[in-house]
A and B are shown apart, each in its own frame.
Chain A
Amino acid sequence: MSRSIRALIPLFLFAGLVALLVFGLGNDPRKVPSPLVGKPVPDFSLPELTDPSRSVSDEDLKGKISLVNVWASWCNSCRAEHQALMALSEIPDFQIVGLNWKDESRDALTVLRMTGNPYDMNGYDPDNTVGIHWGVYGAPETFVVDRKGIIRYKHIGPIDKQVWEETLEPLVAQLKAE
């Protein structure tokens, strides 16, 4: 190799580094993809939030397309997301299943009473026993589950109009067609 080409190597290496850093700037290091995508939902059974005598389990997620939404009354972004969920609850194509995470049932019920209840059912998980099995690390998080009970997608952070239209809506349409 000639000397002049050799002298260019550091520059090439640096160009590679810059490409990586440009990628890094547009990348959110805090988002952790879930290894559960493509896997069946974990077995679980939780008391229903509004009616503790009933229970919510993995069986309830089969046969229907579901959005499993992790939320809590102490979570500010969940409140921001609430309106969007209310709007989504009008759509008949899927059910919205809440996972009320690390919350007090009283506070959670107050939120639902004051701002409306978009959930078809709500698992109450105050001690994060089921949350850990779902790999939940924050609220809000939303899992999209298909009719066979397979987790197809995980959205981290609140759902808003843009997220719905660009990501979730096409996915739900696709699942519906399957």
Chain B
Amino acid sequence: MIPELGHFALILALTIAIVQAAFPLAGSLVGNRQWMAMARPLAYGQFTFLLIAFACLVQAFLTDDFSVLYVAQHSNSLLPEIYKVSAVWGGHEGSLLLWVLFMAAWGGLVALLSKDLPATVMARVISVQGMIAIGFLLFTLLTSSPFERLFPVPADGRDLNPLLQDPGLAIHPPMLYMGYVGFSVAFSFAIAALIGGRLDAAWARWSRPWTTAAWVFLTIGIALGSWWAYYELGWGGWWFWDPVENASLLPWLVGTALMHSLAVTEKRGAFKSWTVLLAIFAFSLSLLGTFLVRSGVLTSVHAFATDPERGLFILIFLCIVIGGSLALYAWRAPEVSEGGRFDLLSRESALLGNNLLFVAFTVLVLFGTLAPLIYEAFDWGKISVGFPWFNKMFLALAPFLALLVGFGAATRWKHDEPMRLVKLLWVAFALSIAVLAITSLPTFSGGHLWVPIGLALSAWLLFSHIAIVRERLKNKQGWRTVVADMRGSGRSFYGMVVAHVGVAVFAVGVTMVSNFEGEKDVRMSPGDSHELAGYRFEFLGAQKAPGPNYQADRGHFIVYKGDRKVTELFPEKRAYLAGGMPMTEAAIDAGLFRDIYVSLGEAVGGGDWALRLYYKPYVRWIWLGSIFMALGGILALTDPRYRTARVRASAPAGSAVGARA
């Protein structure tokens, strides 16, 4: 009964989505206030019914209702409760439902929080959200309903993939989807603006916090996925450039460009049609990612069970949404004025450079991901494009980005003096050169070329932002005012600083771990010791250890540095009762400056084990940097500018109209 209720709620949500897509928009075009006023309640209704559908599915999982095909495929009576909930999004159908639910949640939030949005804009935004929801709900109902029944009812379910029975993986997809879908808000604002034929600073102001919020979620989602892959898969890596990983990176890259471009559009009224294009791209790439992951077009380690019919459906949907919005763009963009004049040396130029680089990164990732397909389509042979290619390509551009960030954040809007910048940044620059010189010494760099470059660029990012903060504080009479500044409109400034410092932290992590990591495959008998990077790993043997739904062999290690005992590690090798897939559960001693990582391979007889030992210096900094970036986004998001309607705050946009340099 309950699954049917869920299915029915989905159908109702679709009905609402259709009304939502039609009436508010139509109302905004013909000037019918009542139709426009339907936007808010419809957005809430849409969310409510999807929440009901989702709750029904959760209930089916919690009660082990294996008469539901999707539950039977992704759960098991022995599965711990918490994973029964996360199993809801453990497969294609359920994750799609989560996606649609989040889509409606964002729509509902817009309706709830943007009280002061002009009725026409609100009506159009909600309508566009409704249109996208129609596509996804049709997709769910026609090809991928999670509520399909199974007969005869199996005694037990097939179990959730053990790889997903993990807290990291329980929260990674929701975060990621919140990010993907969050870009639909910026997209809807862009389309609403294009429909109205007006793109202006007000539009940028409205989109900005939503874009930042989606970006924060996506940043956290990607970082979580990377962290999960690192500790759960036992291979010690944190990024493999797999098509599915790239699919999550693409909207992030464009989203990052969009955030920066929106700043220019809001403050200076410039780059308008470019910014709107980025808003379309960010969400389009989220959709493209969905297609790539769920259609089986590319080979990936973690593709969903794929189905050409689903692929075709999403492709048609893509054509309508992206093709339609780009056609709208082609129609409206030529009428958009490009206001806001600026000099070569200005914040505008720097942000333009940022946009160029991020779009370049996007082109690289997209091209590399699709290159095997392009080669096959033109019959140029079958090739693989893997991490070596992506690493080389990224390294070719990354230094420019790091250099630019330091300068760009220091420049002023509209026009800046070269001498002012030199005065402001020379110390930071000199310090970075010093870092470059010191880390170039062979004793430090170990002959790795990228060590001094990576560290000097990180230093540059850090020192230049210290200089920038110092200058701001000097103008605001010292450090004591920092708290007051943080309470006021300084938040987005500090958000930027924190996020940029996060980039520096991230860069240090990548540089150090890529160049100094150590790894050893060994066979060990109980009592054996092995040395790696100054640590001695003593193996005491492995014992059987039962788990709730698996049987494990648990190894016992003591790690010494010199004579000092550093830690004890208990890596596991698990055999899950349902499915029988073996799983390696690595044991990690995490530290700010290094991780020690042991993963258990195979028992090779006589109590001996094949295992892998890793030493991962500074690997945490990769995720720490990501957290900084996300925190920066959150800080910027809470800037009171987005909450209060102060006339002063809109002055910069006004300057696009009147003032002249």
Contact = CB atoms under 8 A, between A and B. Distances in A.
A29 B334 contact: no
A11 B333 CA distance: 12
Contacts of A22: 315
Contacts of B318: 18, 21
Contacts of B319: 18
Q: Please indicate which of the listed interface residues B284, B312, B334 has the most CB atoms of chain A within 10 Å of its own CB.
A: B334
Interface string A154-173: 00000000000000000000
A27 interface: yes
B326 A25 contact: no
B311 interface: yes
Given A10-B326, A20-B377, A25 B312 contact: yes
A11 B330 contact: yes
B327 A11 contact: yes
Given A20-B377, A23-B377, A27-B376, A7 B334 contact: yes
Given A7-B273, A7-B330, A21-B315, A29 B372 contact: yes
A4 B327 CA distance: 11
Given A3-B334, A4-B334, A24 B326 contact: no
A135 B299 CA distance: 20
B373 A23 contact: yes
B544 interface: no
Interface in A41-62: none
Interface string A1-31: 0111011101100110110111111010110
Given A11-B330, A25-B295, A18 B315 contact: yes
Nearest to B297: A24
B336 to A, nearest CB: 9
A33 interface: yes
Contacts of A27: 297, 373, 376-377
Contact of A33 (B296, B312, B334, B382): B382
A21 B297 contact: yes
Contacts of B296: 29
A30 B298 CA distance: 9
Contacts of A4: 330, 334
B382 A24 contact: no
A60 B99 CA distance: 59
- State the main secondary structure of chain A at its contact with B: helix
A94 to B, nearest CB: 28
B203 interface: no
Given A8-B330, A20-B374, A25 B308 contact: yes
**Range for the number of chain A residues in contact with chain B:** 20 to 34
Contacts of A7: 273, 329-331, 333-334
B247 to A, nearest CB: 13
A73 B550 CA distance: 32
A172 to B, nearest CB: 24
B370 interface: yes
Given A4-B330, A21-B291, A14 B373 contact: no
Contacts of A23: 373, 376-377
B446 interface: no
Contacts of B299: 29-30
A32 interface: yes
A29 B298 contact: yes
Nearest to A25: B311
Nearest to B366: A17
B291 A10 contact: no
B323 A24 contact: no
Interface of B: 273, 277, 280-281, 284, 288, 291, 295-299, 308, 311-312, 315, 318-319, 322-323, 326-327, 329-331, 333-334, 370, 372-374, 376-377, 381-382
30 contacts: A4-B330, A4-B334, A6-B334, A7-B329, A7-B331, A7-B333, A7-B334, A10-B277, A10-B280, A10-B281, A11-B323, A11-B326, A14-B322, A14-B323, A15-B323, A17-B288, A18-B319, A20-B370, A21-B315, A21-B318, A22-B315, A23-B373, A24-B373, A25-B295, A25-B297, A25-B308, A25-B311, A27-B377, A29-B298, A29-B372
The 10 closest A-B pairs by CB, nearest first: A24-B297, A3-B334, A7-B333, A11-B326, A7-B330, A4-B334, A8-B330, A23-B377, A29-B299, A10-B326
